[in-house]
Amino acid sequence: MKFGKEFAAQMVQEWRDAYMDYNSLKAVLKDIVRIRQRSVTASTSKSSLKRKVSLYRAFSGLTSRHRSSQRKNEDEVILVHAVEQQEGANGHYQTMFLMSSDTGGECELRFFRRLDDEFNKVVNFYKMKVQEVMDEANELTKQMDALIALRINVDKPMVEFHGADLENLASNERKPGRFLNLLAFSKIMKKYDKITSRNASKTYMAMVDKSYLGSSDEITRLMERVEATFIKHFVNGNRREGKKILRPKARRERHRITFSLGFFSGCSLALVVATVVVIQGRDLLKSEGRTQYMDNMFPLYSLFGFIVLHMLMYSANICFWRRYRVNYSFIFGFKQGTELGYREVSLLSSVLAVLALAGVISNLDMEMDERTRSFEALTELVPLGLLTVVVLIIFCPFNIIYRSSRFILIQSAFHCLCAPLYKVTLQDFFLADQLTSQVQAFRSFEFYVCYYGWGDFKIRSNKCHRSGVYKSFYFIVAIVPYWIRFLQSLRRLIEEKDAMHGYNGLKYFSIIVAVFMRTTHDLQKGMSWKIMAVVSSGVATIIATYWDIVIDWGLLRKDSKNRWLRDKLLISNRSVYFVAMALNVVLRLAWMQSVLGFREAPFLHRQALIAIVACLEIIRRGIWNFFRLENEHLNNVGKYRAFKSVPLPFNYDNVDDEDRHI
């Protein structure tokens, strides 16, 4: 990989503008190359006499030690030297180029002027960041002094809070990209020397090394003091434990995870093929029990299909977030080292797919086998048994199968159900957004309650849709996810006094109205109800699509330097964003189709068409996830700072001692 691409990939996106503009300097060097090439072409037309003189002078230079030394000194003076005009507050540096009269000299002069601008920008930014870290350290010192003076018995959770806060102070040394910028300056100067055949990099980099950017060690000394203080007061002098808390290691990829993923993925593909073979071999699509199976068993197994697809989309999101350096683990509030990677999520989805497909095949075999026809009730219990296993694993209290991630999921789901009683975090409303794309999964779960709770599984037939209670809950479960997001928006509106949360609440309210109109039309019929259902659904779709693209993704900015996108982008290929916007519109219309009730097709059963539309909505949500978190990472549109220090578990008022009440 070329250094320019690697440099762009290693940038901290929040501070992209504070990095050295490597590409612009490289563009100036290309201009120098073109000017020198034209000069070389013109020099070939000189007379042979002048060429002989040139050769003679070159030969004379090689044979004279005195002339060689004199020429070396002239080169050092002629090439470049750095003049530090102001040092201190502004840290302004200026380079004096003494060979502007040479061929291409004006272009080289422009190169050094721009180089100085970039260097001064980086130095001033680094000074600002160091000052911020020192201010945080001073505040943390006061808090720690107060805590130590009170002799509070610090438990493990509180130690983790301190570790996260102190870790931020230590990691800020890396985040402004100090060493990355130093490497960039070194690379661009070496490239300049290579193009111009000069020796300017040594002189310029000597100035860089002596500057504040190259010689500052405040953060290094602060890190040492932080570690010593933390180890002494919070982990009883246990240096290993203190280092473990302050500098947690990233999760190591394990070979058994990769092997298991490949094994279960292969098994799931084999089971898919086996299912198709069984259906085709026994001609089940034309059998008399086809309709009965699609009405009774297909909704039960489709629940697992929706979950597996959503997990696969989330796994793909994690993969691309890591590739484009989106700090998803910090944004979601996951403890470092405990977050699931895309391999772990893919493994869980593949295991669930294997279990579900095995259940489908076993159910088909038992129904086709004459020896098991007498056990009709038992064969119908296969999907219920599988669902029971999944629920038990999710709520398992033992430290197996990623317990910390399961508990985070349960906690966020509980906060969503109790909205607006809990303060809304990004983790909570992000999960609630996922639930809005799993409406059909909720309806499948409702079908489980009806099919097994009312005993319909014993006769392989259900009367759920004939029940008024079932129809009422069929309507309620579709509204609940949007109602949760509506309440979360109201909570944030009251707390943050930001009108955008009110508008977001109106968006979800419009969707609730659309679902209500559609359900009423199903019950009451009539042209007037159909018109109201169509209008309300169209309005809700337009508002939701606009909100996805403009607000959540931050795109369609007319005045952006990336026209119709936004200023900061992670993906270099801009066409990806336009394709994503088009897909969002198309898939939103597919979701609208389920609201309008176009659920009949000559070649598909009604339940199959419903499942396909639900899968398209899950895919749309997966695409939305990546760009939503990208925008959060780059612009913090949700008022969440990805690199903000974690608050300590107590408050400290910055007032005089006599005004302090303890």
Give the domain ranges of the chain. 3-246, 255-635
According to DSSP, residue 402 is labeled S
Contact 4, 22 (CB under 8 A): yes
What does the alpha-carbon distance between residue 92 and residue 111 come to, in Å, rounded to a whole number? 17
The pLDDT value recorded for residue 280 is 83
The pLDDT value recorded for residue 603 is 64
What does the alpha-carbon distance between residue 90 and residue 225 come to, in Å, rounded to a whole number? 28
The pLDDT value recorded for residue 149 is 64
Category of 236 on φ-ψ map: left (φ > 0), alpha (ψ -120 to 50) or beta: left
What does the alpha-carbon distance between residue 478 and residue 437 come to, in Å, rounded to a whole number? 10
Provide Rg for the chain, Cα atoms. Answer: 33
pLDDT digits (tens, 9 = 90+) for 195-225: 887 777 887 888 888 787 888 777 778 777 8
Q: At what angle do helices 426-436 and 403-417 cross, to 10 degrees?
A: 80
Which of 331-337's residues contact partners 24+ apart within 8 Å by CB, and which partners?
331/426, 331/629, 331/632, 331/633, 331/640, 331/642, 332/426, 332/427, 332/430, 333/425, 333/426, 333/427, 334/405, 334/408, 335/160, 335/404, 336/248, 336/250, 337/248, 337/249, 337/250, 337/251
List the chain residues with pLDDT less than 70: 1, 13-14, 42-91, 97-104, 144, 146-177, 248-251, 367-376, 522-523, 591-603, 636-662
According to DSSP, residue 81 is labeled E
Distance set, CA 560 to CA 368, 407, 564, 566, 580 (Å) = 63, 41, 7, 5, 18
What does the alpha-carbon distance between residue 404 and residue 410 come to, in Å, rounded to a whole number? 10
What does the alpha-carbon distance between residue 364 and residue 294 come to, in Å, rounded to a whole number? 12
Q: pTM here?
A: 0.77
Contact 648, 143 (CB under 8 A): yes
Helix (H) and strand (E) counts in the chain: 26, 2
The pLDDT value recorded for residue 510 is 94
Q: Which residues contact 151 (CB under 8 A, 6 or more apart)?
A: none
* Backbone φ, ψ for residue 401 (5° rounding): 50, 55
Q: Which residues contact 45 (CB under 8 A, 6 or more apart)?
A: none
What does the alpha-carbon distance between residue 631 and residue 500 come to, in Å, rounded to a whole number? 16
